[in-house]
Amino acid sequence: DSRGVCTTAGLAHVPDGSRVAVAGAVTHRQRPATAEGVTFLSLEDETGMTNVVCSVGLWARYRPIVSSAPALIVRGTVENRSGAVSVVADKIERLHLGMAIGRSRDFR
């Protein structure tokens, strides 16, 4: 759109390796034991859910924001392979929605 943010629905049409920004409410934060410290986020916008991959270094750099903000703007690179689309994050900022939303279902 005009603000440069891609919707979840729009990601399906973005070529692999393209730079994008996505935004939405954080619904899940997961760090599986088998992922070697990589954290996965799920962002929800009006068109669906976006999977976001956060490296160990990115998580450390943006930890105060990414671990607590109810909504985020994520900039990164699209991985669009074999029908599964995700965004590998390289910059994260808090998205102020101007309304209360529920807490995400996070790892503990």
pLDDT per position as a tens digit, 49-67: 999 999 999 999 999 999 9
- Distances from the Cα of 88 to the Cαs of 16, 53, 82, 103, in angstroms? 11, 5, 16, 23
Host domain of residue 27: 8-96
Q: Is 65 inside any structural domain? A: yes
Q: Is 1 inside any structural domain? A: no
Which pTM does this prediction carry?
A: 0.84
CATH number of the domain that 56 lies in? 2.40.50.140
* Contacts for 30 with CB less than 8 Å, ≥ 6 apart: 39, 40, 41, 106, 107
Query: pLDDT tens for residues 72-99?
Result: 999 999 999 877 899 999 999 999 877 5
Q: Is 104 inside any structural domain? A: no
| Residue 83, pLDDT score | 76
* Distance in Å from the first CA to the final CA of the chain: 36
Q: Is 103 inside any structural domain? A: no
> How large is the average pLDDT for residues 11-16?
92
| Residue 92, pLDDT score | 97
Positive or negative torsion for Cα 28, 41, 85, 2: positive
Q: Is 3 inside any structural domain? A: no
> How many independent structural domains does the chain possess?
1
Q: Is 2 inside any structural domain? A: no
